[in-house]
A and B are shown apart, each in its own frame.
Chain A
């Protein structure tokens, strides 16, 4: 069964800590994405990557960075966690969408991060 795996389902971190959220996919997808999900705000794109060592800012990149050293792994980094980064974080992956009928993203199960 193909999947996107996020390393932690629940995390509790202290303000100011550096936090790493890991995501691994086994579908050989080129594209990978990080979203955060908050009530009433839907899914908001933080960063995405279309290739190894490549990264692009999404709609809300402030306070975050990413790393894509291998095709299957895309890490989200909170350099200095703050309470307003308490949220559900979702990783997703897909094949490139240019031309032809390509489906949607495959999502991981999410990491619920609480910053205290």
Chain B
């Protein structure tokens, strides 16, 4: 079946550093999504991308929809303690969404 490969699985960074994570797939999607899940909560949508090549920002977050439609990345600039959580990528084709396994972000004091 379809799979998304999300990397890295976890990251330990210093506050103030930039973060980069990505997702790749063997399938093409017509929408790429990035979610964040904080401890004890459900995932919350951060950014949705609808067009190949699209680059979208949401505050310190920037995400891109890959030209091949098979990949996407998320960057977080100048990380702060509240960025801690699990970040999920997801690819959507019609009604079906496939999720990556998540990148767990830890921020060291």
State whether these chains interact: yes
**Size class of the A contact interface (CB-based, 8 Å):** 20 to 34
Pairwise interchain contact B97-A105, C-beta atoms closer than 8 A? yes
A31: B residues at CB distance < 8 A? 95
Q: How far is the CB of B68 from chain A (nearest CB, A)?
A: 19
Pairwise interchain contact B45-A108, C-beta atoms closer than 8 A? no
Pairwise interchain contact B92-A104, C-beta atoms closer than 8 A? yes
A105 and B33 alpha carbons, distance in the complex (Å): 10
Residue from A9, A43, A50 having most chain B Cβ neighbours under 10 A:
A43
Interface string of B67-101 (1 = CB under 8 A from A): 00000000000000000000010101111110111
A109 and B41 alpha carbons, distance in the complex (Å): 5
Residue from A4, A50, A107 having most chain B Cβ neighbours under 10 A:
A107
A103 and B95 alpha carbons, distance in the complex (Å): 10
Pairwise interchain contact B45-A104, C-beta atoms closer than 8 A? yes
